[in-house]
Amino acid sequence: MRPDDWYCTQDLTGFLSHAGSFLRSRPDLHTVALTVTETLRTSGLRAYGDEAPVFGVLELDGQVRAAYFRTPPYRLNVTPLTPAEAETLAAHLVALGHSVPGVIAARDTAEAFVAAWRRHTGARAAVSQRQRLYRLGNLTLPHPVPPGRARVAGKEDRDRLIRWYGEFIESVGDHAARDAAGWADSRISYGGVTFWEGEDGTPLSMAGVTPLVAGQVRIAPVYTPAGLRGRGYAGAVTAQVSRAVLASGVREVLLFTDLANQTSNSLYQRIGYRAVADFTAYDFRGARGF
């Protein structure tokens, strides 16, 4: 296996023609790649920023073995790799002259790439977040259910969605992959956010859902303003969104959690989500990192 076995392109159509079937073969492990490329396909290549995205495929003997993408200025996202594949990917990116601000991947892959990137560039790495990917098994509605009801957000909720999305990004300590207004408009267009609202109609919590692609959707984000937490609103709205997705015929329902947040991890397991894999996000500093 050589660095030249990796193919790099900025052509989304070409990337999907090479890697689309591979990504759809494991829609759970490849959920982020599937949803990001679908957004780029439907909303344009500048959906995540002004700089063009970059895509890559590892192909051996006519078979796709792995893929990556990056939507600058954000981290490199990589499908699961062996240590040898991670080594060739690092060499491939260095040969192309690419700087990489960080990486997010399944835990073992992320660790292997961090080690390879440091060998090739001297860049130091720091863990930004540890995540767990869950898949919905048998849905169990929370009990007792807090007072109120679920309601799909509409155009009249745009300002609240923009504000809450910004607060959510700040609360998780990360950078928004999309500007808040663009995110809100996109979600409103397909009914992609549901509120749990009180009996007086005041929104108390929200749960989003990504568009259907490759037979799967992902619940994201789930957010409750700080002063309203601990009252069951997030569990209620997540369960209702999950039930609505299942009722639509979708059977692969996923979500990510921050492993540092034990409350949310316990909550999602109680309503029926089961662990699939752990992921780690690293940020690079020095040398060929930022």
Torsion angle (degrees, nearest 10) of CA 124, 126, 128, 129: 120
**DSSP 3-state percent helix, strand, coil across the chain (nearest 5):** 40, 30, 30
6 burial level (CB within 10 Å; 0-12, 13-18, 19+): buried
Residue 14 has what pLDDT? 97
What is the Cα Rg of the chain in Å? Answer: 19
> Residues 120-150: pLDDT tens digits?
999 999 999 999 999 999 999 998 999 999 9
For tokens 């849905």, the residue is: 139
**What is the predicted pLDDT for the residue at 35?**
96
Using alpha carbons, list the distances in angstroms from residue 139 to 34, 178, 193, 235.
24, 30, 19, 12
Q: What is the C-alpha separation between 186 and 192, in angstroms, rounded? A: 8
Question: How high is the pLDDT of residue 278?
Answer: 98
Q: What's the length of the chain?
A: 290
Query: Which residue in 95, 25, 109, 92 sits closest to 63, CA to CA?
Result: 25
Structure confidence at residue 176 (pLDDT): 62
- What confidence score (pLDDT) does residue 220 get? 95
- pLDDT score at 288: 60
DSSP strand pairing (193-197 vs 76-78) = unpaired
Pick the closest to residue 192 from 154, 223, 224 (CA basis). Answer: 154
pLDDT for the residue numbered 3:
87
Number of neighbouring beta carbons within 10 Å of residue 150:
17
Phi-psi region of 215 (alpha: psi -120 to 50; beta: other; left: phi over 0): left
Q: Where are the alpha helices (DSSP H) in the chain?
A: 12-25, 31-43, 83-96, 107-121, 158-172, 180-189, 233-247, 262-270
- The span from the CA of 89 to the CA of 22, in Å, is 18
How much is the pTM? 0.94
pLDDT tens digits, residue range 215-249? 999 999 999 999 999 999 999 999 999 999 999 99
- Domain 138-271: CATH superfamily is Gcn5-related N-acetyltransferase (GNAT) (3.40.630.30)
**What does the pLDDT read at residue 167?**
94
Q: Which two tokens stand for residue 181?
A: 């207004």
**Residues in the chain with pLDDT < 50?**
none
Domain boundaries, the chain: 5-131+279-285, 138-271
Looking at this protein, which amino acid is placed at residue 69?
Answer: F
